[in-house]
Amino acid sequence: MRNKKWSLLFVGAVLVLGSVDSRAEQKQVTAEKAMNQSNAVTEGLKTLQVGEVKITWIQDNAGEKLMPRGLFADASDELIDSLALQQGVPSSIGVFWMETQGTGILFDTGMGGASGHMLTGLRALGVQPEEVKYLYITHFHGDHIGGMLENGRAVFPNAQVYVSRVEYEAWMKLPAEQNVQVVETMKAYQDRLHLFEFGDQLPGGVKAMDASGHTPGHTVFQAGRVLVIADLIHGAALQLEHPEICASFDMDKKAAVAVRRHFLQYAKENGLTLAGMHLPAPGFKAW
């Protein structure tokens, strides 16, 4: 009987220890998973302090991104070969969170949907969607406004939305099959929509500047020594040295080349840091 008692106790101890080990393993797996998720978020974030302006790049796409060589038809094969870009041009899809003059501002919203990581990045910074007070839109392409809606509802319920009047009016005149996303998105924010003119200074001391060409009212924004260049650049390895080369996304190539040259020279002369929605990770270029 005594031996049987000890046997039962031994079996019970083994079961308890097994349970403890199992819980420990589960905790370890959970911790490792959380760490991996944290690392993934950290890899998709980059914060710079430039004078009085604090700005964070948030990667909206997952992993690495290459712009296909075919998007840069203006580039010769010889140039592409010399830069070893045959497989594509390094790029990204990003948004920016800026803190300046005591104001938090979100620039663009990425693709949205299941493939977009903007909200994960914002939350990693401690910013909830309802806390976004100002949203500045560079232009109306889907990879810049896609994150504004979820199931037809505004993702940022308290945000004041600022967009170029030129951009807004141009897109509203397009046929329905071309502007349905823009119309639906702007309708969801219509009571908080502000149309600015180029040269206006917006909340936070941010200046809206005319970069029309990529789209009719494409806008770059300057705060201090930071220039949010939107889609001036799609393939940095190619276009920073060859601004005369356009991506097929540019709606008015002649104008796009002119403003690309202008703002790259302007940034160099003034020692500005470029923050680009399609610059490769980590989204910045300092002159």
**How far is 146 from 185, CA to CA, in rounded Å?**
9
Please give the domain boundaries of the chain with CATH numbers for all domains. 48-286 (3.60.15.10)
Residue 6 has pLDDT above 50, yes or no: no
The DSSP code for 67 is E
Q: Please compute the mean of the pLDDT values over residues 261-273 and round it to a whole number.
A: 98
- Residue 111's nearest CA partner among 124, 94, 127, 126 is 94
Quickly state the pLDDT bin for 42 (edges 50, 70, 90). low
How many DSSP H helices and E strands does the chain contain? 8, 17
Residue 226 has pLDDT above 80, yes or no: yes
Q: Please compute the mean of the pLDDT values over residues 130-139 and round it to a whole number.
A: 98
Residue 87 has pLDDT above 80, yes or no: yes
pLDDT above 70 as % of the chain: 85
Output the pLDDT for position 246: 98
Residue 247 has pLDDT above 70, yes or no: yes
**How far is 215 from 154, CA to CA, in rounded Å?**
24
Output the pLDDT for position 39: 42
Output the pLDDT for position 146: 98
Interval 43-58: pLDDT, tens: 799 999 999 999 999 9
The DSSP code for 179 is H
Output the pLDDT for position 43: 79
Please give the structure tokens belonging to residue 70. 């075919």
Lowest mean pLDDT among 7-16, 45-54, 112-121, 166-175: 7-16
Residue 127 has pLDDT above 50, yes or no: yes
Who's near 132: CB < 8 A, 6+ residues apart? Answer: 104, 106, 122, 156, 158, 159
Q: What are phi and psi of 54, to 5 degrees?
A: -110, 125
Residue 1 has pLDDT above 50, yes or no: no
Who's near 76: CB < 8 A, 6+ residues apart? Answer: none
Interval 181-222: pLDDT, tens: 999 999 999 999 999 999 999 999 999 999 999 999 999 999
Output the pLDDT for position 7: 41
pLDDT above 90 as % of the chain: 84
Output the pLDDT for position 54: 98
